[in-house]
Each structure stands twice: as structure tokens, then as C-alpha cells.
Amino acid sequence: MINITESASTKVRELLENDEKKDHALRVFVRGMSCSGPAFGMALDDTSRPDDAIAEHFGIKIVVDQQSAQYVEGAEIDWVDSLMGKGFTINNPNAAKASGGGGGGCGGGCACGK
């Protein structure tokens, strides 16, 4: 299953409180594939499906649909705040391995700026 850092969980908690959605979970999903692996999406969701994988880290409930679960196994959601911008990122060491040799890949990460 996917993990979340403490800094990312703090930002998710802020979003939940600001949007008055304290009962929602963070849904992580694959929204498409690219040459460097899956492109991830995230949304606040107040429902779960029977086949969802559900985890809780630092008080944040994370749900992942069955099809996306295989791509997020071992990945970690983090919050970055740097000169290049700030936002959530998903670091997936499995995607970097799966992309094979060659250069120019993004290293299995994905960013979401909210």
C-alpha cells in the first residue's frame, strides 16, 4: 500500500479543514500512463468502494482503487516546498525500476500542485 509523510499528512489535514471535509479520505489513483510510468492523481473523497484498499497514516485515511493499487505499492506521498514550486509528490521507487534503462526519465515521481 502507499505511505504518506508527516509533512504531507499535515497539508492534507489543512485541506480537509479548510474545505470543511474532515470526514473525507485522500483518494490516490492512476490517471494514465506515460513513458516513465503511471501518472497519479489525488482527490478528496467521502466514499469508498468495496474493492478499495484503505490505509491510515498520521490520521489521514488513504483509499486506492483495485486497479491503481498495483502501481502505488511501496510509493510515498510527500509535500515539497522548494524554489521549483510546492505541492504533493508521489515518489514511487517501483516505477523507476520498471522503466528500464535509458536516461531522461522522471525517476518515478509525479506532482500535484494543490
pLDDT at position 20 over 60: yes
What is the domain partition of the chain in residue ranges?
A: 3-112
Query: Is there a contact between 84 and 72 (Cβ–Cβ < 8 Å)?
Result: no
Q: What is the pTM of this model?
A: 0.77
User: Which superfamily does CATH assign the domain made up of 3-112 to?
Assistant: HesB-like domain (2.60.300.12)
Would you call 3 exposed, middle or buried from its count of C-beta atoms within 10 A (0-12, 13-18, 19+)?
middle
Taking only the tens place, the pLDDT of each residue in 43-52 is 999 999 999 9
